[in-house]
Chains A and B, each alone.
Chain A
Amino acid sequence: MWRRDGRLLPAGVAATLAALVVVFYYPVGSVLASAVHAGGRLTLAPLVSVVGDPFYHDLFAFTAYQALLSTVASVVVGLPGAYLISRFEFPGRQFLRSVTILPFVLPSIMVAVGFLAMFGRTGLLNDVLAVVGLGPVELTFTLELIVLAHAFYNAPLVTRLVTAAWESVDPARVETARTLGASPVRAFRDVTLPQLLPALLTASVLTFIFTFMSFPIVLALGGLDLATVEVWLFARVQNLDLTEAATLGAIETALSLGLIYVYLRFEATQLRAGGESRGRARTPLFAGWRSLVDPRRLALFAYAGAALVLFVGPLVSLVVESVTTPDGAFTLRYYEFLLAQQSSTAVGTTRPFPAVRNSLLFGAGALVLALPMGVVVSVVATRDSRGSRLAEALLTAPLAVSGIVLGLGMLRSLVFGTTLFGYRLTVTGPVAIVAAHAVAAYPFVSRNVTPALGSIDDRLVDAARALGADRSTALVDIELPLVVPALVAGAAFAFAISIGEFDSTVLLAEGVDSATMPVALERYTGNRSLGPNLGPATAMGTVLLAVTTVSFVLIDRVGGRWQ
């Protein structure tokens, strides 16, 4: 198969692998190796001691339990959103579709601040409840709030992936079912649902993995009594108990990779089901007075209200905090602080404008790298050859590795450097940051592109090949134009991951000059010039919110033109 291909594809595979080895496999491998390596020889002792420790049984069980709850919550919140966006027409639909990516870019400290401002004891929700004589609800530092925050991050993933699947459901097949006498519910169950299921499962599996490895949200919104494996792992790293940390990381990675592998096998069986589709016409959401008596629409309005509280509430609270003193008075001094940082000449000052510029540049760079990498993986994935599931699982591994393990690995291998032939090689600076972001982002590109690529009619490619096109040409000329919407979605993800990425950025950034928006934001939380105060960070968070919202609407609009 390979030998008949053009050079493009093998070169792409080689480049993807090379990038992965340098910024992923080698760093992560060097950490995980210490789980089975002590005093110069192989040992199972660390693994045995963790596996035999009842404390860890409870820790893993609790972590899985909260991940399960978080996954259910994300699906419950995300699915109606997909229904709304894919099946109804209303003003702002396209905008709404674009900004569902937004939670991905939001640094967790901002989300935590927004959540406390919204759902805290003195938060907006309790203020509103008090007006109507209810409450107060005590949500802070409870499992419920963590699950809610996980839904904030992951329900949009469910919405995005399922919306894309729903829009590509063939209306002819639904109509055929209806003409044959199926009720709308029956038609949905037998025709539509099977086509949504792969996307829904993708989203659920990813949500489970992400929330299993959740760290910053649990740390910020939960007390230590709600600690997850990842929180404990972080503490081990801080204490330099690297063997125990590596062992926990290895177990975690094995569980996640296993889950991804099982899922990929399922996905492969579903891929061939798709067909050519032009999508179904959307129903207007607002249909005069009838909207008010239609139970379906009423339910959607109720859903929209709840979604506003969950998604818009924390963000609005964040923006409000950025212009409010602790006493509740209006102030612009946090934005004045940003300007003062910008004009400061003191060493070690993180300036806001370069941070915005860096974020956009790194995001664009990551997008340029991650798109081809993701497409390469998707092409591998849509092959039927033996072992391609395993290859795909390995190529998707960045999703399965916790940020702490990756960050630690990068620190030890890339930042500290490796001595090779007498030279000390260190990989730092913007190029390394972009590579690290691309590695984190490409699995999202391939998760979007693989299903789309898989549903292309094989005969199209076969015809092109019969007419003399090599595999690469067929990919570029025939297949990619057919999957542009998926590529655009992948591009948005790549950009979002890059903007929101914190761990490796902060490790690889050479000096304050390559700080990004989240790094600047984190720096400002530690700045005491205005007293112990999150104001400066909320102002930077508001800037981040504005810059990224504009970016996503642009990506979607520009991409939309090519559809």
Chain B
Amino acid sequence: MKRRAFLSGVGVAGATALAGCINDTSNQSDNTLTVATYSSFTGEDSAGNWLKSAFESENGDATVEFTTPENGVNQFIQRKSEGAPIDADLFVGLNTGELVRADEQLDDPLFAETDGEVDGAGSVKPALDFDPDGRVIPYDTGYISLVYDEGEVDAPETFDALLEPAYEDALIAQNAQQSDPGRAFLLWTIHEKGADGYLDYWQALDDNGVRILSDWEPAYNAYTNEEAPMVVSYSTDQVFYHGEGVDMSRHQVGFLNEQGYANPEGMAQFADADNPELARSFMSFVLGTEAQSEIATRNVQFPAVEGVEPGGDFGEYALEPPEPVTFGYDELAGNVDGWIEDWARQVVSN
């Protein structure tokens, strides 16, 4: 799940490159697939590790290696613009805003168009498909929603309701400049209030005491510590929390206006990949039914492929919004940076 870990003191753009292979091209054999992704996608019990073992056992001599720079795709945008080698074949964990940024920053393409060459790409839910140029293929999605404590507040039902006195000092959101759910929530308000109206809406939210913390981790931690009874989070919250003796009233999911903002995660092959065929066969593998189900369960996100129903706890506790909304590539291109900066300046000036 791409709740990018809150970075303590992370200088650079989030910075981390705990990446064994980034500068190590020497042992790059023909059958090594280097996958760049975010850190919680790898490690014990992760979707990444399941994919690695399953893909390797199905593909004889292929080896999957992960590289996890914590500034994510920025690392590769900067590498490309500085003329440094990319040293990875595939990027896993790209969202719409990041793709827009990559395209706006670079003259040469960072990713290759693979849509037609990946088996299963056609079965991805059309609503999640966010790249008009067929480079990025979605493999899962989260839905941004509110999580609230029903012992403290009534179910928050509409955006306008959040401005009422009943919700004074009640909501914790995240900084849209650096947090995925924070950005999604801001875009959701723009989706509802329009590019002309969202700043006024946020001014009213601010007047009603909304708090903007840096990222999902501190925001959720503050929510857990009862600093406020509502937090911007994911509709899969209960998958983590259900269990014996757990008070689920603290983990209610609220879909404002009956909606949830979809934040699809995609994968794309680097244009400079050393192993493009292997990258594409890995992408096909990720779209397979079993892989989709495992990714959903282990990454706690919804599958991207039609008709995949992960059972078990995920099937039982993950809530899907009645009406998913999201901005597509064309709506974000040329707009998203300005929207976010205007918003941030308004919040800082308050």
Contact = CB atoms under 8 A, between A and B. Distances in A.
B69 to A, nearest CB: 9
A523 interface: yes
B342 to A, nearest CB: 11
Interface of A: 55, 58-59, 107-110, 112-113, 116-117, 120-123, 140-141, 215-216, 219-220, 223-225, 227, 232, 234-235, 237-240, 326-327, 340-341, 344, 346-350, 402-408, 410-412, 415-417, 419, 424, 426, 428, 502-504, 506-507, 509-513, 515, 518-519, 521-523, 525-529, 531-532, 534
Contacts of A141: 211, 213, 222, 227
A554 to B, nearest CB: 26
Interface stretch (B38-46, B108-116, B137-145, B267-275): B38-46
Given A220-B218, A529-B45, A503 B348 contact: no
Given A348-B68, A412-B82, A415-B23, A507 B12 contact: yes
A29 to B, nearest CB: 15
B71 A416 contact: no
A123 B26 CA distance: 52
Interface string B308-350: 0000000000000000000000000000010011001101111
A58 to B, nearest CB: 7
Interface string B180-214: 00000000000000000000000000100001111
B349 A55 contact: yes
Interface string B54-79: 00000000000110101100110111
B159 interface: no
Given A426-B23, A507-B15, A531-B240, A225 B350 contact: yes
B12 A225 contact: no
Contacts of A424: 84-85
B12 A503 contact: yes
A239 B85 contact: no
B15 A109 contact: no
Contacts of A526: 3-5, 39-40, 217
Contact of B18 (A232, A519, A531): A519
B42 A348 contact: yes
Interface string B219-230: 011101111000
B217 A403 contact: no
B300 A121 contact: no
A220 B44 contact: no
B70 A506 contact: yes
Contacts of A240: 13, 74, 77-78, 101, 105
B118 interface: no
Contacts of B212: 223-225
Contact of A109 (B9, B68, B225): B9
A215 B9 contact: yes
Given A346-B44, A415-B23, A503 B68 contact: no
Contacts of B22: 415, 428, 510
A74 B348 CA distance: 25
Given A416-B78, A525-B6, A532-B220, A515 B226 contact: no
7 contacts: A141-B211, A225-B212, A340-B44, A349-B43, A350-B18, A507-B12, A532-B220
Interface string B17-49: 111111110000000000000011011111011
A419 B82 CA distance: 11
Q: Which 10 A-B pairs have the closest CB atoms?
A: A526-B5, A407-B11, A511-B20, A109-B8, A348-B42, A503-B11, A407-B12, A416-B84, A224-B212, A216-B9
Interface size class of B (residues with CB under 8 A): 35 or more
Nearest to B337: A239
B196 to A, nearest CB: 21
Nearest to B77: A240
A428 B10 CA distance: 18
Contact of A417 (B7, B84, B350): B84
B14 interface: yes
A225 B347 contact: yes
B235 interface: no
A532 B6 CA distance: 12
Contact of A511 (B18, B48, B240): B18
B213 to A, nearest CB: 6
A235 B12 contact: no
Given A112-B8, A506-B70, 18 more contacts: A120-B225, A123-B225, A216-B8, A224-B175, A402-B11, A407-B10, A408-B12, A410-B12, A411-B15, A412-B78, A417-B23, A428-B23, A502-B8, A502-B11, A506-B17, A507-B12, A519-B18, A528-B240
Contact of B178 (A112, A223, A235, A419): A235
A116 B8 contact: no
A498 B168 CA distance: 44
Interface in B234-278: 240-241, 245
A128 B264 CA distance: 46
Nearest to B5: A526
A68 to B, nearest CB: 19
A339 B153 CA distance: 40
A380 B22 CA distance: 40
A238 B347 contact: no
B45 to A, nearest CB: 5
A215 B85 CA distance: 31
A207 to B, nearest CB: 17
B221 A502 contact: no
A215 B68 CA distance: 23
Nearest to A524: B5
A116 B225 CA distance: 8
A216 B9 CA distance: 5
Contacts of A112: 8, 218
